[in-house]
Amino acid sequence: MRRRAIRTALAAAVMTTLALLTAPSSVAQAAGTTAAAPATPVWSLYNAGSVGVGFIYSGWPISGQYEDVLDPGWVALDVYGVYIGSGYCAQRWTSTSSAVDGPWRRAGSDFPPGKYQLSGQYYVKIVPYRGTC
């Protein structure tokens, strides 16, 4: 499962090249858990925090909480959802330019613990932190 995650430096180069070819004109926001529209994975999920986060890569919805853990500083491609563990919250940011370097724009309120769908044509940066939100 860890083969789905790749090192930040390599991901930045790949995602920057991809962004130049496919970036849309506006930044979409990370969606909360909904079943209204078919899921489309975000281009990538970047864990910019100091703890791992769960992520979902094979489609939405799934019966479990997550399919693998994305370690701090790593990027996963084609992600359908993220799981924030108990005792943590997560800032969420979006970009249409790069998986690591941004520029990043805040995407709504912080995620409390739980499972959340990510869907759209953009990159997502998650910054998990211990506390309440």
Strand, helix or coil for residue 13: helix
Cα–Cα distance for residue pair 106/21, rounded to 1 Å: 24
The percentage of the chain sitting over the pLDDT mark of 70, rounded to a whole number, equals 72
Strand, helix or coil for residue 54: strand
Mention every residue, 6+ apart, whose C-beta is less than 8 A from residue 48.
72, 73, 125, 126, 127
Cα–Cα distance for residue pair 53/35, rounded to 1 Å: 22
Which secondary structure element, helix H or strand E, spans residue 15, and what is its range? helix 8-22
Question: Which residue ranges in the chain fall short of pLDDT 70?
Answer: 1-37
Structure confidence at residue 27 (pLDDT): 33
Residue 2 CB coordination number (10 Å): 11
Tell me if the pTM is above 0.85. Answer: no
User: If we measure between CA atoms, which residue out of 52, 37, 43, 36 comes closest to residue 2?
Assistant: 52
